[in-house]
Amino acid sequence: MVNGSPRKVLGAEAFRAQDPAGFALFETCMKDVAPYLKHKFGSQLRDTDLEGIATAAFFTAYRKGIDFDREPVAYIKKIAYNDALKWVKERKKEWLVDQTDPTGLLALFGGEAADADPSDAVARSVDPKRQMAAGTAVAEAVATRLKEDADVWDVVDPAISTISAQQQHEVILRQSLGHDDDRIAADLGISRNQIYQQRHRGIAVLRKELKQYIRPGGQPPTPTAGEQ
């Protein structure tokens, strides 16, 4: 996603030279769409979210081919509104997150750790490569993971390392360490809307990588021979 004001968009001058009408529409959209979203969603979206969603909506429409004779701004507002609505719904889900699984990643496994005591933590070893990648915060966060979840993280951590797209990997890695969206956005210099998109794609990779461990929602775990 392209994020930022018209003058901060990567290749803005080239865009202006190549398609003056398209760039003029982009500037109009940045003036009209963000305030429209602000009016619709109020405090549910921050200014950086508004700008990022508006920019993304423009380029979604631009790539599909904009008909300049058929109210293009209204069309882009519709795209932006739908994207913002998805973003707000995602944020509401995060506000209701189970405190025994603040990263949301353990939920992939059907909630085996639902009865864990958040105060019951244990120091664990940290992979040096991951520590170098994310700094000492990685070591501190991993060291306080719940010991009941140790076996799960031993499976999830290697799966996270298989995410090849750098931004997806960084978002999922930081989420696995308990960082909230505001901190991830600040660390990576991206909008929360971008975080949502990259998380969605990263989780899809994890689901594929971990499919042998993931059971369908609502399906009880298969009993072992000793439990049957």
- Per the rule left: phi > 0, alpha: psi between -120 and 50, beta: everything else, 67 is beta
What angle do helix axes 192-209 and 181-188 make, rounded to 10 degrees?
100
- CATH fold of 106-209, please? Arc Repressor Mutant, subunit A (1.10.10)
Contacts of 133 (CB under 8 A, 6+ apart): 173
| Over residues 72-94, mean pLDDT | 84
| Over residues 169-185, mean pLDDT | 83
Domains of the chain, residue spans:
12-95, 106-209
Cα–Cα distances in angstroms (integers) from residue 89 to residues 67, 84, 93, 94, 123, in the given order: 30, 9, 6, 9, 35
Q: According to the 3-state scheme, what is the secondary structure of 152-186? A: HHHHHHHHHHCCCCHHHHHHHHHHHCCCCHHHHHH
pLDDT band of residue 111 (cuts 50, 70, 90) is very low
Please tell me the predicted confidence (pLDDT) of residue 220.
42
CB 145 within 8 A of CB 110: no
pLDDT band of residue 27 (cuts 50, 70, 90) is confident
User: How would DSSP label each residue in the chain?
Assistant: ---S-TTTSTTHHHHHHH-HHHHHHHHHHHHHHHHHHHHHHGGGS-HHHHHHHHHHHHHHHHHH---TTS-HHHHHHHHHHHHHHHHHHHHHHHHT--TTSTTS-GGGGTSTTTT--TT-B------HHHHHHH-HHHHHHHHTSBGGGHHHHHHHHHHHHT--SHHHHHHHHHHHTT--HHHHHHHHT--HHHHHHHHHHHHHHHHHHTTTTPPPTTPPPPPPTTT-
Per the listing, tokens 């973003």 go with: 87
pLDDT at residue 123 tops 60:
no
Contacts of 89 (CB under 8 A, 6+ apart): none
Please tell me the predicted confidence (pLDDT) of residue 164.
83
pLDDT band of residue 161 (cuts 50, 70, 90) is confident
Tokens of 212: 């042998």
Please tell me the predicted confidence (pLDDT) of residue 118.
37
CB 199 within 8 A of CB 172: yes
